Amino acid sequence: MKTRLLVVFWLLATELVNAQQTSHQLITFSIPFGADTTQFVLVGDRHQLTNKKPILIFRQGSLPIPLLTRNPKNQQISLTELPAPVYDYRHKYHILMIAKPGIPLQVEDTYLDTLFSGKPALAMFPRAYHARNYLEYYVDQTNAVLTYVLKQPWADARRVVIVGGSEGYQVSLKTAYTNKQITHLIAYSGNVEGRQQAQIREARASGIGSPLQQAQAQQLVERLQKDWLAVCRDSLNTTNATVGDSNRSIYSFSHTNNVHYLTSLHIPICIVSGTADVRAHSNDVLPLEFARRGKTNLTLKTYVDLDHSLRHISYDSGGQVVGKVYDGNRVHCDYLEWLDSH
């Protein structure tokens, strides 16, 4: 698909430099994407575009989370979801993040409190978001951005890294499989089974411990199996959900091709997960699948007692959770160190 630059917004000068106490500067691009327009952010100021550097594209997790938030008290603008260690690599790479479809590029930071409150506003899941919130859209969107970026004089196409977490795990895997210009793949907090399969795995694991819990887990598994039948009967429906995921979203992220995608690649791959993230346990089979094919391009990093959100879980003597402390920066630093050596 051919693309041309429509608009370049320079978030510089007083608006951003004075607002960003950490001196973040961002360039926001808007490019055509089929019948849509998609936006992405490059970390840096206009002077960054005089330097030719490799590309690192970061795909975030699920939910309609805008790329930018503004604190209404001090007007500070922040990038949501970009890990600090990745941001620190801006001197080595042009770092890009792509906006989710159908939602504002920038909101006040109280938006996130409402989104994660358990009772998000219906307006946070607009129809335009639901209509595009599925795997194939995000893969095509990522490829469209890369098509544009890699034609620019400031992009060194010899090294193109894609990093994705949670939902971005799946987006990154399939993008790397479909885009031969990607040279390195890093994915974390995801699973090779698919979204619905992972939920069933988690439900089954919740029953370990007592016959009563096993009975309750079985009921939950059966409900998830029944839900899947309904999804498959109407798998292209994007209007059946007001908040959360539509049938098309669930179906697209519950495919069974991830092992094939990964083992088909010849580029360096780093897969990261925590042992307290039950949904990610399916990654444990990847070394077996790569060895079966005589492939040696996989690095699997597994962190004991880290959960899906890269928090370290601590337990009491009875095995009950008593603490959760974020340890994600260590994880992000580790895979960036891996990237430096590959």
Residue with tokens 């996130």: 112
Q: Given this model, what pLDDT does residue 24 score?
A: 55
Residue spans in the chain of domains classed CATH 3.40.50.1820: 7-193+257-340
Higher pLDDT, 71 or 338: 338
d(CA 333, CA 310): 13
CATH 3.10.100.10 is right for the domain spanning 7-193+257-340: no
- Picking from 220, 156, 167, the residue whose alpha carbon sits closest to that of residue 189 is 167
pLDDT of residue 13: 27
CA dihedral (164, 169, 173, 175) positive or negative = negative
pLDDT digits (tens, 9 = 90+) for 193-241: 999 999 999 999 988 877 879 999 999 999 999 999 999 999 999 999 9
pLDDT of residue 117: 85
Mean pLDDT (the chain, rounded): 90
For the entire predicted model, the pTM comes to 0.91
For the stretch 112-140, pLDDT in tens is 889 988 789 899 999 999 999 999 999 99
Burial class (CB within 10 angstroms; exposed 0-12, middle 13-18, buried 19+) of 252: buried
User: Per residue in 279-307, pLDDT tens?
Assistant: 999 999 999 999 999 999 999 999 999 99
147: number of Cβ within 10 Å: 16
- Going by C-alpha positions, the residue among 256, 255, 338 that lies closest to residue 297 is 338
Beta carbons of 185 and 265 less than 8 angstroms apart: yes
Q: Helix (H) and strand (E) counts for the chain? A: 12, 14
H or E element in which residue 249 lies: helix 247-252
Q: Are 52 and 153 in contact (CB under 8 A)?
A: yes
